[in-house]
Structure 1
Amino acid sequence: MRGFPSGAVRPPVRRTNAGGSGCDQRGATMSADGARQGWWSGEAGVRELLGSALPLAVSTSTFALMYFCDRMFLAWYDTLDMAAVMQAGTFSWTASAFFFGLASYAIAFVSQYRGSGRPDRIGAVVWHTAYVALLSLPCFLLIATLADDLFVWFGHAPELIDRQASYIRIMAVGMPGQVLAAGLNAFFVGLDRTRIVMLIDVAASLVNIVLDYLWIFGIPGIAGTEWGLEGAAWATVVAIWFKVVCYLLLMRLQTDRATFAFASSWRFDPDLAWRMIRYGGPNGLQFTLEGSTFAVILLFLGRLEPLAMEATTLAISVNLVAFVPMIGIAMAVTGAVGNQIGRGRADLATRATWSGMAIGTFYSGLFAFAYWFLPEKFLIFHQLDPVEDARLIGWSIFLLKFVAAYCLFDAWQLIFASAIKGAGDTLFTVWTLVATTVIVVVCGAAIEPLFETFDGKLLWWWSCLTGWLMMLCVAFGGRFFQGRWRTMSVVETHAIETPTAGDAIASRPVSRAVEASRRPRRSR
């Protein structure tokens, strides 16, 4: 956090039950920490959040770049490979989404323990995310075994099924590493050490892109190294495990690692495990439902002619340039909200959310404008033939109009959801996903037969996708304004200090705050 030594924990601020929220003491505490400064430079303002969000946006952008290059190389190699990877990649993500969401929710735990002055509990959180990765292994083995049957059941084209199943079987080797990397990432994000995350992701993406090219097209002068789709999958797996190794090495090199009690907190903690499941489980289910909804829409599109998947793949891969950096901004919002909730400052958590909203609106708005008015510019790098691929180009450009329509709604729902989840309001998000998913999938499947042409069916499913994201924006925004999340917390009650605002913020040294966090707590 700016203004504090790396790894230092801010002294917590008094929680109050008056009116149900610490924000009701706003007038008493704002003067103590300068919170009345402007929206740009004040605490939890745009400038402060940018310090965390920009490295994370760069970090997640490397994934978009990696994904874009992967699909672009496959489009150069074989457009059927590109279409197969779109569906298989979506399914492999959906399969790992629950465990990934459960592990990545450790961001809220780390940030709230940091804000409440309990760094000694952070090591246990990281250990328990590693246990989540171990528990995911049987699931991924089962998915690899059943890969062929899934796509046969959905009636996909025979030329796609073998490619899709092969991709999923290879990715099963990397899925546990993806879950483990999410938990290790949460350690650095929750502590606001986001530059480390950025450097690791940039390095892993470079590894992936280089191996992608060499293993898809073959290493010059070496026969038998042209692996196409399988080469792309193995490049991704290697990059995932490279990232895990980097995280472990850099955690080992942290000068304050003893503060987090890694050596003594490896034992299974039933209370912590229950809270991680209670709050992180719905987050994992949310990830799964989001991925499942998108995967089901793609599976229905896959029943149409291959052109539907090729155009959809191009439009979605272009959209990732705008969407994936928003994930980094949302991660920063989750960490900032969690830290302020841990400190008992729901008012600053609200400010952090609006700071994230301002950043996200500006960024996504630029891309919404470009997708609507300059869509053809985003297809230049795919080297499509204007004559042979004229139909594909035309549909891809048209689908980017849909992307422009939902781009801002997607950004807003992501920020609102990240804010309430940072406080611990994960159950609402999962029930919202259940309701909207049922509506979209049931209505989509029921109405699709009314459209007799390829054009009508394709436009209908893209309309369903757009409407789904708009519904999420309305639901999560409504929950944020309702304000129930302000009184929530994922950490144990005795982890919250209750000093006066003046003592906590104005005069207590950070070293005393950390030392005090290790002393026994008095019950209130």
Structure 2
Amino acid sequence: MSHTRSTTTGRLGAWGPEVWTTLALAWPLVLTNLSQFALSLTDALFLGRVSTEALAAATLGGNLYFAALSPAFGLALAAGPMCAQTRGRGRGHLRGMRRDVRAAFWACAAATIPVWLALWHTEALLRGLGQDPLLAALAAEYVGALMWGMPLFCGFVVLRGFLSAEQRPISALVVSFIGVAVNVPLNYWLIHGGWGIPPLGVLGAGIASALCNLVMFAGLVGFIAWDRHLRRYHLFGRLWRFDLARLREVAQIGLPIAGSMALEISVFAFAAIAMGWFGAVAVAAHAIAVQIASATFMVPMGIAQAATARVGLMTGAGRATAAARAGWIGIALGAGFMAVSAAMLVALAGSIAWLFLAPGNPGAAETAALAATMLVLAGLFQLSDGVQAVASGALRGLKDTRVPMLLAGLGYWIIGLPLGLLLALPGGFGPIGLWIGLSAGLFLVAGMMLARWMRLSASGGLTLRRRLG
């Protein structure tokens, strides 16, 4: 009896330290994500005061850009679980983590080139998708500048994954804040002109964001070179070495992550394009709602990154029960935050919408009203969005990425988007119908991701041990 009681107490007692460890790792990652998101948010805030067309064009271009970014971004994210498991194994981790980072750099570079070739034809792509010629031309200007920051952003993500595996995320946070601080004056200067620079509008916003990606990547490179502990890894030594085994692992882990991201990002990108069928007001309202929903999503996304690092570290060390515990703690934290976020969005929808609009602009009142309705719907899907994000992050810590990709495809493209289009067009609900369908898709994906994690972490982590081989 006494032995049983002490064992139970010991198991319960292990949850508290893991909660604090996860929070200590997650909060810098959350703030880093928020600061990176603030780059596009800053663009939206500045351009929304230029014109509704400028905001709509940047939204169309930004959605296309982020959809195209997903292959390289997914490969960059593979560095996190790889480095975490390598560090968890212990012996030889210095050389092993260096190989992980180097392979991720190579993979991102290879994925960037074909994406650049596609984005070079942004205007033709958008016009082919039925967008207004003026919006397509403005979006092409924005993407034409923004695309040059893509490899720099991916390099930043690779190094952030390495630092998360080292349980040292604060440096990425500091560098990200510097990037945001630089972005605000750059946006004002380049969008509106001054000091010999003519007003560049949406082109200026794209240039500002690309320059900020350069600042953030260079900042992390400089920090790693300066820090005595991190210098030991020699991450940038012999970058030219081709490591086929590690590249194969990056592809095996990263391409399904890229696929999952592409499925999620592209479904919202397609929704933005579909909004263009209803006019600039619908696109601008959609942009406002997506910006806010994306901002709140940065919190569970940061918790998911912490869960990836903690689950990966415990998995690499062979501690399957601890890995399962870390995943469940992350899911609970993500769900708790998003429940609070949902209540705030529903209560403050109207006030939030007007933050992005100038009252004197044509169509501002109509845009604000539609955006407020969309924000209420966004609040309703917050909880499921948080659960699916953190569950997916925990699964990445196990290097389990292929099945989550398939689940995302089922929820977003087979169920969510067709339902939304059905409600929007034949159903007569218009833009709101699209959002109802997307909400249903997110709810379904959350349930499936949670069920997947429950199965793999069942019986005190025995399934995890089988996955480790």
TM-score of the aligned structures, taking structure 1 as reference length: 0.82
Structure 2 match to 1:242: 215
Q: Is the 8 A contact 2:156 2:217 kept in 1?
A: yes
Mapped to 2, the partners of 1:127 and 1:306 lie a distance apart of 44
Report the CA distance between 1:358 and its aligned residue. Answer: 2.9
Write the mapping of 1:62-211 to structure 2, written as runs, cut at 5 A.
62-117=35-90, 118-119=92-93, 120-211=95-186
Alignment-derived partner of residue 285 in structure 1:
259
Matched, 1:363 2:341: no
Q: Name the amino acid aligned to 1:441.
A: L
Question: For residues 223 and 328 of structure 2, what CA distance do their matches in structure 1 show?
Answer: 32
The answer for the alignment partner of 1:269 in structure 2 is 243
Higher mean displacement: 397-406 or 183-192: 183-192
SS in 1 for 2:15: coil
**Higher RCO by CA contacts (8 Å cutoff, separation 6 or greater):** 1
Query: Per-residue CA shift, 1:165-213, capped at 9, x if unaligned?
Result: 1112212211122222221221111111111111111111111122111
Query: Would you tell me which structure has more helix in proportion to its own residues?
Result: 2
> Of 403, 411, 415, which residue of structure 1 is paired with 2:390?
415
Q: Secondary structure at the match of 1:130?
A: helix
Are 2:444 and 1:435 equivalent residues in the alignment? no
1:377 aligns with 2:346: no
Within a 5 Å distance, the mapping from 1:315-330 to structure 2 comes to: 315-330=289-304
Distance (Å, rounded) in 1 between the aligned partners of 2:286 and 2:141:
21
1:486 is matched with 464
Q: Distance in 2 between matches of 1:172 and 1:421?
A: 27
Out of 478-487 and 229-238, give the one that drifted further: 478-487
Partner of 1:400: 375
Aligned AA for 2:264? E
Q: Structure 2 vs 1, CA of residues 341 and 329 (structure 1 numbering), >3 Å: closer, same or farther?
A: same
Once the two structures are superposed, the pairs formed by residues 33-48 of structure 1 within 5 Å of their partners are 36-37=12-13, 39-40=15-16, 42=17, 44=18, 46-48=19-21
In structure 1, give the amino acid aligned to 2:464: R
Seen in structure 2, the aligned counterparts of structure 1 residues 65 and 257 have a Cα distance that, compared at 3 Å, is closer
Give the total of aligned pairs. Answer: 455
Query: Which position in structure 2 is the counterpart of 1:465?
Result: 438
| Bigger shift: residues 209-218 or 122-131 | 209-218
| Structure whose CA Rg is larger | 1
Q: What is the rounded CA distance, in whole Å, between the counterparts of 1:415 and 1:144 in structure 2?
A: 31
- Cα drift, residue 372 of structure 1: 0.9
Structure 1 residues 416-458: Cα deviation after superposition (integer angstroms, max 9, x where no partner): 1111111011011111122222333344445644135xxx121
Match of 1:451 in 2: 427
Following superposition, the deviation at residue 308 of structure 1 comes to 0.7
CA offsets 1:279-328 (integer angstroms, 9 cap, x no match): 22111111111111111111111111111101111111122331112211
Greater CA drift, 422-431 or 175-184: 175-184
Contact 1:121–1:260, Cα closer than 8 Å, also in 2: no
Q: Give the alignment of 1:322-361 within 5 angstroms.
A: 322-361=296-335
State the one-letter code of the partner of 1:345. Answer: R
**Could you give the per-residue CA deviations for residues 64-89 of structure 1, whole angstroms, max 9, x where no partner exists?**
33332221111111121111111110
SS at match of 1:260: coil
Compare 125-134 and 397-406 and name the one that shifted more: 125-134
Which runs of no fewer than 5 residues in structure 2 stay unpaired? 458-462
Deviation at 1:337, TM superposition (A): 0.6
Query: CA offset at residue 361 of structure 1?
Result: 2.4
Q: How does 1:249-268 map to 2 (within 5 A)?
A: 249-257=222-230, 259-260=232-233, 262=235, 263=237, 267-268=241-242
**Counterpart residue type for residue 140 of structure 1:** V
Q: Distance in 2 between matches of 1:488 and 1:419?
A: 17
CA distance in 1, matches of 2:266, 2:188: 30
1:374 partner SS: helix
Q: Which segment drifts farther, 86-95 or 223-232?
A: 223-232
Taking only the aligned residue pairs, the percentage that are identical comes to 22
Does the residue aligned with 1:77 lie in a helix, a strand or coil? coil
What amino acid does structure 2 have at the position aligned with 1:451?
G
Query: How many Å apart are 1:98 and its aligned residue?
Result: 1.1
Give the conservation status (yes or no) of the 8 Å contact 2:76–2:158. yes
Question: Structure 1's 216 and 202: CA in aligned 2 closer, same or farther, altered over 3 A?
Answer: same
Q: Is the 8 A contact 1:384 1:393 kept in 2?
A: no
TM-score (norm 2): 0.91
Aligned partners of 1:265 and 1:175: how far apart in 2? 19
1: CA distance, partners of 2:197 / 2:214: 24
| RMSD (Å) for aligned C-alpha atoms | 2.3
Unmatched 5+ residue regions in structure 1?
1-26, 494-524
Between the aligned partners of 1:312 and 1:254, the Cα distance in structure 2 is 43
